[in-house]
Amino acid sequence: MIRKWQMIALMLGLILTAPSWAATPTSVQRYFQDLQALRADFIQRVFDEQARIVQTSSGRMLMRKPNQFRWDYRTPAEQIIVADGERLWAYDVDLEQVTVRRLDQALGSTPLSLLSGAAPIEESFKVGPAQRRDGLDWYELTPREPQSEFRALRVVFKGELLVSLELEDHFGQRTRLDFQNLERNPDLDPALLRFTPPPGVDVVGDTG
């Protein structure tokens, strides 16, 4: 099972490190070149190996370079995941519990290299040529690390607009994020990219 923060880490690395994919059209290169932040609504679906939907959730996301993001899952259960640049906070509203981990420990070495932009994407992935399907351009990225927990990451554009990301594991399970109302380089309130546990909740982990 792909953990939520793995999907988030890979996505953040891709969209905030200004990749220079040789196979990517010029319009897509322009999209990423000056990207510093994103805001969007999302629908997340998990498909089993038979392509059946086994889980659906939705919410709103914010991202800002470097290493900051916030995902507010609203359905089917309320959950908030915030990376403030140093720590990752996961708040389960129903359980009234906050789990805290250092960002490097929570996300792992390969996603973190993408997060920080320390290494070009080509060092971690083999980037396939664009495939045109249903009016969308699909790019498949295959991890170079043989022990990777996932088989492929797909990035989907409609013209110059990022519309979807899809992560597939070695068992054929896919996690797909579809974006709506996406804003590129919006002004984000810095307070939204910090997290303070609500009074009375249990806090577990490395609060430093």
Q: What is the DSSP string of 54-97?
A: EEEEEEEEEEETTTEEEEEEEESS-EEEEEESSEEEEEETTTTE
Whether residue 105 contacts residue 9, with contact meaning beta carbons closer than 8 Å, is answered with no
Token duo for residue 135: 């009016």
Q: What's the pLDDT tens digit per position in 84-120?
A: 989 989 999 999 999 998 887 766 544 444 444 445 5
Closest CA to 179 of 200, 193, 165: 165
For domain 4-205, the question of CATH label 1.10.1750.10 is answered with no
- Identify residue 88 by its one-letter amino acid code: L
Q: What's the pLDDT tens digit per position in 13-38?
A: 555 554 555 545 445 555 666 778 88
Enumerate the domain spans of the chain.
4-205
Closest CA to 168 of 176, 159, 160: 176
- 125 or 60, higher pLDDT: 60
Cα–Cα distance between 144 and 202 in angstroms, integer?
39
